[in-house]
Amino acid sequence: MLFVRSSVGVWFSFGLAFFLQDCVEGGNSYNFNGDPGSVQRMFSEHGPLGKYETGELLLFGGIALLVSIPILVLALWLGARGQAVALRSVMSGYMNLGAQWTDTREAGGRIFGWHLRFALLSSLILLPLVGAFVALGLSVNDAPDTRAAVILGALFCIGIVLLPLMAYRCLVRNFVFPLMVGKNLSSRDAWQLFRGAARGKVGGVLLFFVARFLIGMAGGMVALVSTLITCCIGALPILHQTVMAPFYVFERSHALYTLASLGPELSLLETPPDEFGGFGASMPGPYYGAQGAPPPAGGFGGPPGV
């Protein structure tokens, strides 16, 4: 799809679609360089937050949360539309960004609604927990080291709570969203369709996620190398997704082929528009011209009646 009858414009169109998709999927995890010790330094006596009282920190956090909500909603909407366009492009085997943006408006709106509900549910579960742990950590005013240890322990516990939510999100992202886009279903109907097909095939679904983890690691390594050899130019938004378009297409198609293996009713890959092949189709056979394919016995034979 990217290398047969493609162009620079097609590559950049895919790059834009995948960039929008990353607005909700968080980009590439290999760019994260977190240091657990930074939390301790942040809340230490000489750290940037150590001089504030607990009430002041909670006030600042509340203001930052209110300011960030519209930005997060916009990112969710752009990411949902990007996911729908990317899925439609991979399913159809071609890229027409304007037409597919219009065609996936309804499906993108449904995906956006799912993201909003998931974000609200996650917030209702996690925010009180985070607030309680942070307040507990900040209450240890005379022991910054103990405070940082409490906060780190709290983050670990929150991670344990977060695992089921993330597992559910991965299932929806890889198997439910494609059904919503390809079959124009609601999230509930798409989930029921997938659950019915996947019943009794839990091992295969788990194997998919093991393979997906390995594919993600390989893609991250390739992206890191491409970033280094281009002096970080390859990490620029849209340009990065354009360079990594083959990986993004492969990653999406992997989920679509896995979904199709659960049953023919879940096959969403469309036949390409011409006989020269394309994404989602088997390798094209020989071209025979206007005379058509030969009969099964071989050879074109004589004219009718001979």
Domain that holds residue 158: 8-266
pLDDT in tens, the chain (306 residues): 787 766 788 888 999 999 999 988 875 433 333 343 444 444 455 555 555 566 666 677 778 778 888 888 999 999 999 999 999 999 988 888 999 999 999 999 999 999 999 999 988 887 777 777 766 666 665 555 666 676 677 777 777 878 888 889 999 999 999 999 999 999 999 999 999 999 888 888 899 999 989 998 998 898 888 888 888 887 888 899 998 999 999 999 999 999 999 888 899 988 544 444 444 444 344 444 444 445 554 444 444 454
Amino acid at 32: F
Would you say residue 69 lies in a domain?
A: yes
pLDDT at 20: 92
Would you say residue 116 lies in a domain?
A: yes
The tokens for 81 are 């539309």
Q: How many CB atoms lie within 10 A of CB 241?
A: 27
Would you say residue 142 lies in a domain?
A: yes
pLDDT at 31: 35
Would you say residue 279 lies in a domain?
A: no
Q: Is the distance from CB of 155 to CB of 132 less than 8 angstroms? A: no
Compute and round to an integer the Cα radius of gyration of the chain. 25
Q: Is the distance from CB of 205 to CB of 198 less than 8 angstroms? A: yes
Would you say residue 37 lies in a domain?
A: yes
Would you say residue 272 lies in a domain?
A: no
Split into its structural domains, the chain has a count of 1
In angstroms, the first-to-last Cα distance of the chain is 44
Q: How many CB atoms lie within 10 A of CB 27?
A: 15
- Give the C-alpha separation, 117 to 243, whole Å: 33
Q: Which of 12, 175, 166, 177 is nearest to 81 (CA)?
A: 177
Would you say residue 281 lies in a domain?
A: no
DSSP, res 299: S
pLDDT at 54: 60
pLDDT at 291: 47
Amino acid at 185: L
pLDDT at 191: 94
- Give the C-alpha separation, 33 to 36, whole Å: 10
Amino acid at 214: L
Would you say residue 306 lies in a domain?
A: no
